[in-house]
Amino acid sequence: MKQDFKIQGLSKLGEFLHQFLQNSEEEYSLEEAELFALMKKSEVENPWFTIENQRFCFKNWADILKIENIKNWLSEYQISHFSKKVGLILAGNIPLVGFHDVMCVILSNHIPIIKLSSKDRLILPFLLNKWGEFSEWNLEYQFVEKLSDYEAIIATGSNNTARYLEYYFKDSLSIIRKNRTSVAVLNGNETDDEIKLLAEDIFRYFGLGCRNVTRLFIPKDFELSKLFENFIEFKDVVNHHKYANNYDYNRAIYLLNQEKFWDNNFVMLKEDDALFSPLSVLNFSRYENMEDVKLFLNENETGIQCVVAKPELEISDSIYFGEAQNPNLNTYADNVDTMRFLEVI
């Protein structure tokens, strides 16, 4: 019974976000106006969280938080009869990146003890409060500055932070996430529309998410101009001062070091085998044999979150262009099933 209330409340939260996105500022209800004020404050506190990117995030949640989606997702799992406290250390690289973890814990009948990122501290509490109101049930969760009194841990951080977290929580059941990024594999037959969809995978959230593509594999004779021509819809990213600072800095370093790169005044392409690229830079490598690409993907799977490619390339678990920033409810960070973990704690 309690679970039914939670599911219904969560679907109503999706409906609330959908209605919010449909309305103009003049049409906002008091609750919608409160949310918009928090969005503006979030952008002030963290300039990466533009209103546009926050709205994009809300749209994804509005699209998937439908009651049939939630029930179908949860039908694969056993919900615990006993509530335990699960400590959550949330990231703040893109808006609401930690909401899925919180949602998993609550729907597993556990209690999230939440340490918010200082970069994303306003919207999640609002949404959890609304979820509780829509559920007509008291959702159990806590926000804390320091974690204590927990029975399991889910934490997200950089590779350096992860080493500290693994040591600190070595005696606890835990999921400790590290840096990941995403890649795209082209076969040279992509249409302009497909490359434009790829641009969404690259530039959305300014490239700050683990699902953002930072490395391309392209055929030996692929013309780079085809990329630049179809990236142009995102040219305004360079008007964002923090992105522009990264672009100017990296460009200056490459010029100073006399490194070869291709530039269209808002993103640079660099022939480099590294998975991770600096912000405003997209690494690429040319291939002759698709099997070599697949071998690289297998050898580096612990650093890769998503592979974007056409289905015809038959790359395991790849997703289509434009889908990287639209994860489903059963899409888990680091490809570790959070709900399965929560079943056994």
**pLDDT, tens digit (0-9, with 9 covering 90-100), for 210-219:** 999 999 999 9
165 neighbors 176 (Cβ within 8 angstroms):
yes
Antiparallel, parallel or unpaired: β 173-177 and 85-89: unpaired
Residue 56 identity: F
Number of other CB atoms surrounding residue 257 within 10 Å: 7
Domain 181-313 indexed as CATH 3.40.309.10: yes
What six digits make up the tokens of 280?
């405003």
152 neighbors 84 (Cβ within 8 angstroms):
yes
Please report which confidence band the pLDDT of residue 154 belongs to, taking 50, 70 and 90 as the band edges: very high
CATH code of 2-179, in short, is 3.40.605.10
Per-residue pLDDT at 1 exceeds 80: no
pLDDT of 313:
97
Task: Share the mean pLDDT of the chain.
Answer: 97
pLDDT of 129:
97
pLDDT of 145:
97
DSSP string, 219-258: ETT--HHHHHHHHGGGGGGGGSHHHHHHHHHHHHHHHHTT
Q: pTM (2 decimals)? A: 0.95
Dist. CA 10–CA 133, nearest whole Å: 10
Tally DSSP H helices, then E strands, for the chain.
12, 11
* Residue 319 DSSP label: B
pLDDT of 137:
83
pLDDT of 329:
98
Domain boundaries of the chain, sorted by first residue:
2-179, 181-313
Read off the pLDDT of residues 221-254 as tens digits, 9 standing for 90 and up: 999 999 999 999 999 999 999 999 999 999 999 9
